Structures are given as structure tokens and as C-alpha cells.
Amino acid sequence: MKNAGFRERFRYWFDSVMARGTGAVVGLLGVVVVIFILIIAVIIEIFGIEPKTERPFGEALWQNLLRALDSGTFAGDTGWPFRVAMLIVTVFGIFVVASLIGIISAGFDSQVENLRKGRSRVLETDHTLILGWSSKVFPIISEISIANESRRRPSIVVLAPGDKVEMEEAIHAAVPDLGKTRVIVRAGDPMNLTDLALSNPHFARSVVILAPEDNDDPDSVVIKTALALTNNPHRKADKYHIVGEIQDPENLEAANLVGKDEAHWVLASDLISRITVQSCRQSGLSVVYTELLDFDGDEIYFSAQPSLFGKTYFESQLAFADSTVMGIVKGETVHINPTADTTYDDGDQLILIAEDDSTIVLSTPGAPQLDQISTSKAVKAKPERTLVLGYNSALQVMLPELNEYVAPGSAVTVVAEDVAPTFPTFSNMTVEFQGGDTNSRATLESLKVETYQHIIVLAYKETMDVQRADAKTLVTLLHLRDMADRASINLNVVSEMLDDSNRELAEVTKADDFIVSDKLISLLLSQVSENKQLTDVFDTLFSSEGSEIYLRPAELYVKPGSSVDFYTVLEAARRRGETAIGFRIAAIARDSEQQYGVTVNPRKSDLLSFVPGDKVIVLAED
């Protein structure tokens, strides 16, 4: 791509000023007027220009021109014939000047409006580029702005169909605090090569492709946008870092053909299904996921520590006081919770949970308190009962996933209206369907919801519009919460919300009551856009294969009532072939800073005293 010349840089600067609104435009006009006056003053001073008396006819023409331009010029005239003549000239001049001002003003406003549309090429480099527009754009911008705090002059560029000014106003309204990050918006079609060039994609640090929400085939738009990048005749020689969302699993193969090794795809429906299944079975797991996915708090980093080369995985765990090692990258392969004796070799990277990459610092290895480690055995898993209220096609993905976790003899009851789905036979559980209105209090009470260990509320997203489906989910949640309060019981409820603004309405301060929404997809897209290696990490964590996150009774790791540090918990988890990454305290004060008692990446030297009901958060293969 050719370098930008002075004219293009000037226009880009001018577009940036125009995008700042009326105040910036008025200020620019003021600067122009001041500069013009100064130039004229300098010319008069240099050339010594003084007023001179012209011949009578020329003087008359000059005076008439002044009267036409300034209605107050004839105020000092004498003689009625001359006054009448000058009045006619002045009135005529008022109409002419008024028309001229209107024409100039309209033309100027039109040019300003065109300039505010921002058709200049973006000159930013090392920026995050977002192609497309959906409700996910707001949490993505918010998260990346937090991640950008440690960068110098960070920027986000958004290219999407629509009015530039309206998109800018929507972003500033939804994300008022952008920190150091500058957001630049361009109106255009990301599938059009000419429009795509405006966003300067060849110099972007990463590219996020969003699926449009008002399209019957959003995956085709995402794939064609990726094609416009990867097959661009003016593309860069280096590989792109592209991350995008795919809705239909059947389109994933085509997306991989287009993106090859340059694109990382998030299968939205599949991810939501996996998180729903895992969260419904473990109270507090949703908080752990949120902590790892957002940039506010602790997140996942990759780090090379040469001084640890030759050490084992467990020795590497003990070498950090304020960070938690959770895996190793060997070559291109990510190993989550490898065996304790796995060697950390030259060229490998450690996968850690830390508050910031600046906090990843080696410390003196701690010594576990071996006499405080518990020898208790895990209780054999018992059959579980799961209640599903509502129906959409995602349930067909959830059930096979749920079957991988539950013990043989488990049962699932599906209650929904206006559908009659059929389900396959599963090895570990039976599935029963009942027709009924999930908003009916009588229907819910007849189900005896207190007898179910897990409850999932699904949105009718295929048979209702978004707001109506969310309204139905909200009513179901209100009934369940009221029933739980009246019976003084805790219900483990995971519900699906389509509009994130409705999620905020439904949110409550209970870790057992989790709302799954597209915000999780936004968080994952943001994380992967910052580090493509995270794709393999999250694929493992959210899958039933390999090591996942579990919250297990603390008495399986340390003796009840004992006061231990987290080095001891690490050793106890090692003996079980697991990696400890945090804990959850069951009883917690409402004014505590801990979120539902969940702590991820605790300081290892702090003393802990676990009681029955507390959990240790571990990475393990079930």
C-alpha cells in the first residue's frame, strides 16, 4: 500500500476534527478567521497600504458596493433624492446578500456533512479493526479499551454499513469511558474492497468480524468479509490475525477454507450450549468463566521464563506467588493441566492466570504443609435430575454434552409449548418431554422444581422475536425465584437471554442464578483478538474432552479446620492429577469484595481456613 501524502493526511486530520461535533467545527472556523485577519494585517503592514481618494465615478461605485453589503452605510447621507436612491440600492443589496449567505451556508453545511461521513482512509497502525455491526460491538470495544491501557496511543477502527455519526453516537452512549483508546468509525461495506481499504486492514494488529443481526444468512456475510481480506489483491505479505463468529456449525468448514491458518472462528451457538451445560451443574462456575474471559481482573497470559527451563510443571507452579500456572505450550500445541512431571523446556511457554502481564514475576518457591493434606476420597457420582424449561434447536447440542458429564441413570425433563421434539437415546440419561406453558405458575408447581438438581431456562428464539422471547424467559425466572424464596430453598438456575440489556434486568446477586447471553461471545472474541493462542485454551476449557474447570469440596484437598496456604492446595491437587487455580467460600458477607465468594488466582502465601461447603477450583479430567 502506498504511503499517505500530505493531501491525504490533511483530509484524514480534517475528518477527525469533523467527527468531534459542532464545537470542533466552530473552533476550526474561529481559527480560520483569526488566521485570515492576521494575514491581511501583515500585508497592510508590509506594503504600507493607506486609504486613497479615487476619481468620482470610481468612488461612487465603491460607495454603492459598500451600501449593498452593509445596510448601515447610508445612515450619514444627506439630501432626499440621494437618500432614496441609496435606500433602493441598500434594499436590493439586502436581498442579494441574504441569498448569497443562504447559498454559502447551505453549501458549507452540505460539505461539512459530507466530510463528517468520513470517507478518508484511516492512517492508524497496530489498531484493532472491527468489521460489521451488531450489539456485540459495544462490549468488544469496552473490553479492548481495558486491554489497551498499557499501550501507547491505542485505537479501534470500526467499519460497518450505516450512518457514521449515528454509529459514533451509539458507541459513546454505550461505552462512555474509553480510557486511552481512540475509536474511529468509517461507513462502508466490509465486503467491498474499496470500502475495506478505508479501514487500513493491512496494518491492523487484529481483525474482528461480526455477524449482522438483521440478516437471514449471517454466516455468509462473515465468510465473504474474511474472503475480502485473505484474497485481497493488495493484501499484506504477512498473515492476518482474524477472529470471527459463526452461527451454524455446517458453515464452519467453508469458513476454515477461507480463513485457513489466519482466522480463528468462534462457534457461537455451540459455545453458548457448552457454557450453559457446564454452568448449570456447578454453582459458581459462571463467575470463574466471566473472570477469565473479561479484561477486568485476572485473565490468561502466555509467558516464557528461561530460568525455569528444565523444571517440571509442578515446580513451575510453585515458582509464582501472585500468578497461577495452568498449562504449557509446546510448539503449537496447548497442554492444559499436563502431568506434574512434564518438563518445561527451552522454547516452551507457560500459560498463567495473572492480574496483568507486569505481575508475572518469579518468587521463592513455597513449601506445602504436607501434614495438612487430606486423604479423603471423592464420593461416587450419583444420578442427577435436570429440568429444561423452553425449547430451541440448541437443546439438541446441549443434551449430548450433558450426557458426557452425568452419571448413569440420570434423567432430563423438557417442558415447552407449541413444539413436539424428538430426542435420541443417550447412554447415561433418559429424556422425557412434556407439553406445557413455562410461564404458568400452576405448571411450574406441578413439576416440583425443588426435586431437580439443575434447571435450564431456554429462550424461544426460533418461534418468537427477541423481545418477546426474553419477556417469556423473565417471567419464568420470576416464578422460579419466588417459589425458591417461599420454600426457603436454593435453585440452581441457568437461563438464556438474547438481548444483553434484558440480561441486566434479570441479573441477581446469586452465583446459582446465571444468565447466559451473547455478551460471553463478545468477551471471547475480545480475548482471542488480543492473543490467538487463547483459541486452543478456551476450546479445551469449554469442551467435555481434556481438562475442564471443576469446583470440588475443599475437604478432598486439605483437612477441615486447618489453616493452610495455597501452596498446600497445589500439592493436594497435584496428588489427584489436577491443577488448583482458586477457591470458593460458601458463606460470605454481602459487603465482601469477593464475587459470590469466588477467588481466582489467590496469593499463594495467604493463609486459608476451609469449612464444609467450601470449594477448591481445579483443572481436571472428569
Cα dist from 101 to 66, 97, 459, 535, whole Å: 16, 6, 58, 60
The answer to whether the beta carbons of residues 474 and 503 sit under 8 Å apart is no
**For the chain, what's the residue count?**
622
d(CA 475, CA 464): 15
Q: What value does the mean pLDDT of the chain take? A: 83
pLDDT of residue 265: 92
256-276 pLDDT, tens digit per residue, is 999 888 999 988 888 888 888
320-374 pLDDT, tens digit per residue, is 999 999 999 998 889 999 999 999 999 999 999 998 888 899 999 888 999 999 9
Q: Is the pLDDT of residue 225 over 60?
A: yes
Please state which of the ranges 67-81, 186-200, 307-321, 567-581 shows the lowest mean pLDDT: 67-81
β-pair type (324-330, 333-336): antiparallel
pLDDT of residue 78: 53
Q: Is 614 exposed, middle or buried (0-12, 13-18, 19+ CB in 10 A)?
A: buried
Residues 6+ apart with CB under 8 A from 439: 472, 475, 476, 479
Closest to 497 in 3D by CA, of 528, 534, 472, 533: 472
454-510 pLDDT, tens digit per residue, is 999 999 988 888 889 889 998 998 899 889 888 888 888 888 888 777 777 776 645
**Mean pLDDT along residues 159-182:** 90
C-alpha torsion sign, points 376, 378, 380, 386 = positive
Please state which of the ranges 4-13, 128-137, 452-461 shows the lowest mean pLDDT: 4-13
Is residue 282 very low, low, confident or very high in pLDDT (cuts 50, 70, 90)? confident
**Mean pLDDT along residues 220-245:** 91
d(CA 543, CA 124): 38
Residue 48 Ramachandran class (φ > 0 left, ψ -120 to 50 alpha, else beta): left
362 DSSP 8-state letter: B
The answer to whether the beta carbons of residues 210 and 137 sit under 8 Å apart is yes
**Mean pLDDT along residues 174-185:** 90
Q: Is the pLDDT of residue 254 over 90?
A: yes
CB count within 10 Å of CB 111 equals: 11
Q: Is the pLDDT of residue 291 over 50?
A: yes
Residues 6+ apart with CB under 8 A from 211: 132, 134, 218, 219, 221, 222, 244, 245, 246, 247, 268
549-588 pLDDT, tens digit per residue, is 999 999 999 998 889 999 999 999 999 999 999 999 876 5
CB count within 10 Å of CB 369 equals: 18
Q: Is the pLDDT of residue 288 over 50?
A: yes
Closest to 166 in 3D by CA, of 204, 125, 124, 137: 137
d(CA 614, CA 373): 15
End-to-end CA distance of the chain: 52
Is residue 542 very low, low, confident or very high in pLDDT (cuts 50, 70, 90)? confident
Q: Is the pLDDT of residue 589 over 70?
A: no
Q: Which residue has the cell 448413569?
A: 408
Closest to 588 in 3D by CA, of 283, 325, 312, 205: 283
d(CA 455, CA 368): 39
Q: Where are the alpha helices (DSSP H) in 210-336?
A: 218-230, 252-259, 268-281, 285-293, 313-318
402-427 pLDDT, tens digit per residue, is 998 899 999 999 999 888 888 999 99
Q: Which helix (H) or strand (E) holds 152?
A: none
The answer to whether the beta carbons of residues 313 and 340 sit under 8 Å apart is yes
**Mean pLDDT along residues 32-36:** 61
For residues 329 and 88, which has the higher predicted lDDT (pLDDT)? 329
pTM above 0.85, yes or no: no
CB count within 10 Å of CB 330 equals: 16
pLDDT of residue 235: 86
Residue 21 Ramachandran class (φ > 0 left, ψ -120 to 50 alpha, else beta): left
Q: Which residue has the cell 475437604?
A: 555
Q: What is the radius of gyration, based on Cα positions, of the chain?
A: 33
DSSP letter for each residue of 495-544: EE-SSHHHHHHH--S-TTEEEE-THHHHHHHHHHHH-TTHHHHHHHHTSS
Is residue 384 very low, low, confident or very high in pLDDT (cuts 50, 70, 90)? very high
pLDDT of residue 228: 93
